Structure 1
Amino acid sequence: MLPALAQFRVEVSGVGLTQLPIALVPFKGQDSSPQKISDIVQADLERSGQFRGVDASGQALDEASRPDLSLWRQRTADSLVVGSVTRLADGRFDVKFRLWDVVKGQDLGGQSYTVPQGDLRLASHRIADFVYEKLTGEKGIFSTRIAYVTKGGSRYSLWVADADGENAQAALASPEPIISPCWSSNGQQLAYVSFESRKPVVYVHNVASGQRRLLANFKGSNSAPAWAPDGGSLAVTLSRDGGSQLYTIPAGGGEPRRLTQSASIDTEPVYSADGGTIYFVSDRGGAPQIYKMSASGGNPTRVTFSGTYNISPSVSGDGRWLAYISRIGGAFKLQVMELASGNVASITDTTADESPSFAPNSKLIVYATRLQGREALMTTTLDGKIKARLAGQAGDIREPDWGPFQKQ
């Protein structure tokens, strides 16, 4: 592993309609810890768009305390997180926390993690996941990972980072472009396209071991890999038989099976979460639009009708939403469509958005864009009201892909 150059800080902007007020008291002992646990948890929760922090200064509490909940009601907090971090003799850290419902006066439980120093951020993300799930009833995504590509000078790097962009580890570095990273549904492998042999070739990379294997290196272009949810195969775009068409290929390699039969360019396949449908981009109507078809092939139907140029589809895990990029008057803007109604909302005020990818709980989207003249990763709520910048230091940032829930 190369040293992590991409250090991020989180800046949250916007106000949601109904945010839950939560107080996070600085964890006892965290001043002498390498990570400020309560700060990481609070940043996670605020970035979700569901929470807003309440001032918790001047209080000294830990998970064993019985807090005076009337005080926190006066501070308008609906819930309260307290905890501690203790360095053990063997160098590991013991992280404990407890969550209180201030309104009902209830102890909502807590957990403890004993972790090496390098996992303090992960422990913080797991605390945020616990709090998020207890208070919203839905799974948190803070302990998941994202992959993205940076270009610095003439060097391209593929990074795997925490969902807040921190703790980035380089999976691959190359003098030639790396594009289209795509997570497998078990979170153990990344497929991507590398130009290291001076043409686009698809690899599959084991994230833990760093080992990789060649998946598609056929005549012409091999691009746009997308994992089937069962992990047994990938959809890819190949030009081996002439124009760019969609194929599936077994995850272990082998002979591709052709899915589309058109004289057009068909590319950028993505699977629905149930594996039954493939969404893709085609110019069969004269300009790039998003279509869908059965994952086994067959006649596609058109999905996008507003605008003359729509690319980069991403489907939410709950099947309700399609995110994509639309060219509107020369600007490239992130759009979110409710699939049942066909209603489309434009949710950014930037003009160079690219590569949207849904969080595994379908509540946030990560995308790349340009802000103040430099490339940045952003997350946004589906209504566009809460955005957070994951501000990187390692050159141009592009092509994020949000990984699945992690097995605990």
Structure 2
Amino acid sequence: MNNTLLPSIRSFPAQPLARRSLLAALAASPALPALAQFRVEVSGVGLTQLPIALVPFKGEDASPQKISEIVKADLERSGQFRGVDASGQSMDENARPDLTLWRQRTADSLVAGSVTRLADGRYDVRFRLWDVVRGQDLGGQSYTVPQADLRLASHRIADYVYEKLTGEKGIFSTRLAYVTRAGGRYTLWVADADGENAQAALASPEPIISPVWSPNGGQLAYVSFESRKPVVYVHSVATGQRRLVANFKGSNSAPAWSPDGGTLAVTLSRDGGSQLFTIPAGGGEPRRLTQSSAIDTEPTYSADGGTIYFVSDRGGSPQIYKMSAGGGNPTRVTFSGSYNISPSVSPDGRWLAYITRTGGAFKLQVMELSSGTVTSLTDTSADENPSFAPNSKLIVYATQLQGREALMTTTLDGKIKARLAGKAGDIREPDWGPFQKQ
């Protein structure tokens, strides 16, 4: 093992470059069409899925987006809901449903609504949610949006339904960041939580890796190789403007935001080796956190900002450790397996997701931090870069399915998975953004 790169997470024919933490980069793969559409394919069965009927919204046949279908896909992907057949039914948010009919169809809840194109070209989207079992009107909302925001309105409807029926905040109007490589060109994308509506934030002939959302969702930190070495930028999603944050001697990589957004933890080799530092998010002089002859990399903060988890080979092989965010003596966290990398801590502080190598396969694991209990979530063998949804209920990760790159989400028990990616392309480095301000 050399002093600047941990072994590649996969064996690629291309030169080793740093991944989210100097772990190996995007290499030659089938090209991704520039604006490939994603299909959500949900698989698996949960134990406590709530049966819900989504009646086709009145007027959605003439709408560019099928609102009811988007809402249904969101809810099913969460693992908490099971769609009930609503074919042959017609109603909108003003209709009083025949609850006997929907009970016969085994629905516990019902959503109906309408979408109307206004004279100014915008769309009026309305909906209402019903508790079929109790016969209660659970309320509804209306949105007046431009055509480009019809999907966002759909996701907000799904958020409303999810919160009303589970008591927890929905994550469907949040965003993902990820990187693609297509024919030697690297693109950083920002997309909806279902992978659709992807917008290019940055494109470059040189690798872009390690995108990570700021706590307020307004910025992305990432590593670019534009200057033929890894340097860290912070990029405004709204304006496209960016600033150089870390460009010191050697390698600058693996940025991670503190929960208050004021600090970035990074991996620097400016003093030799790969060590952890913190640096003001606006730039400035780094402060060294670790003092070891080992490779220390992949920092990530706990939700309360008090702890940094990271990867180190100080024990002879890559394992996950934790220490105070201000530095100090690290404590080892992972003990199952000889190779554990890519830590991600859930926003509620209960879970640690990471990648373990077992017999040449790279598999997504989740650990309950209070007990140390570890669960393997996948049957794939090339998983990488897990990232929690902001409500801590789902994990997005990159993997290979049938030899092709894919973005997947999974519930924490591994029972419900959804494929977000299309059938071709090199898609990597997903990071799930925070809750969006309404």
* TM-score (normalised: structure 2): 0.92
User: Which of 164, 174, 194 matches 2:194?
Assistant: 164
1:151–1:394 contact (8 Å) kept in structure 2 = no
Match of 2:24 in 1: none
1:263 to 290, 293, 301: 293
CA distance in 2, matches of 1:223, 1:156: 17
Are residue 383 (structure 1) and residue 413 (structure 2) matched? yes
- Report 1:1-400 matches (<5 A): 5-392=35-422, 395-400=425-430
In structure 2, give the amino acid aligned to 1:406: Q
Q: Please list every run of 5 or more consecutive structure 2 residues that lacks an aligned counterpart in the other structure.
A: 1-32
SS in 2 for 1:406: coil
1:232, 1:250 within 8 Å by CA — same for their partners in 2? yes
Question: What is the distance in 2 between the residues matched to 1:138 and 1:202?
Answer: 35
2:154 match: secondary structure: helix
Equivalent position SS for 1:299: coil
8 Å CA contact 2:206–2:226 kept in 1: the answer is yes
C-alpha distance after superposition, 1:335-356 (max 9, x if no partner): 0000000000001000000000
AA of the residue aligned to 2:192: D
How many angstroms does 1:216 deviate by? 0.3
Structure 1: how far apart are the matches of 2:405 and 2:423? Answer: 10
Give me the whole-angstrom Cα distance separating, in 2, the residues matched to 1:168 and 1:351: 27
Question: What is aligned with 2:16?
Answer: none
| Number of aligned positions between the proteins | 406
Cα drift, residue 4 of structure 1: 6.4
**1:140 aligned partner, one-letter code:** G
Whole-angstrom distance in 2 between the partners of 1:243 and 1:383 = 38
Per-residue deviation, residues 234-253 of structure 1 (Å, max 9, x unmatched): 00000000110000000110
CA distance in 2: counterparts of 1:393 and 1:68, whole angstroms: 41
Q: TM-score, normalised by structure 1?
A: 0.99
Q: Give structure 1 stretches of 5+ with no counterpart.
A: none
Shift of 1:393: 6.2
Report the AA paired with residue 254 of structure 1: G
Which whole-Å CA distance do the structure 1 matches of 2:183 and 2:265 have between them?
32
Q: Secondary structure at the match of 1:319?
A: coil
Shift of residue 7, structure 1, vs aligned partner: 1.5
Query: 1:281 is matched by which residue type in structure 2?
Result: V
Displacement after TM superposition at 1:374 (Å): 0.6
SS of equivalent to 1:99: strand
Paired residue type of 1:18: T
Q: 1:392 Cα deviation (Å)? A: 3.0
Kept in 1: contact 2:405–2:424 (CA 8 A): no
SS in 2 for 1:205: strand
Query: RMSD over aligned Cα, in angstroms?
Result: 0.9
- How far, CA to CA, are the matches of 1:281 and 1:407 in structure 2? 33
Task: Choose between structure 1 and 2: higher strand proportion.
Answer: 1
Q: Contact between 2:404 and 2:423, CA under 8 Å: does it hold in 1?
A: no
* Structure 1 residue identity aligned to 2:362: F
Q: Which AA in structure 1 matches 2:131?
A: D
SS at match of 2:102: helix
- Deviation of 1:126 after TM superposition, in Å, equals 0.0
What are the superposed Cα offsets for residues 164-185 of structure 1, whole Å, 9 maximum, x if unpaired? 0000000011111111000000
Q: For 1:320 and 1:329, how far apart are their aligned partners in 2? A: 28
1:153 Cα deviation after fit: 1.1
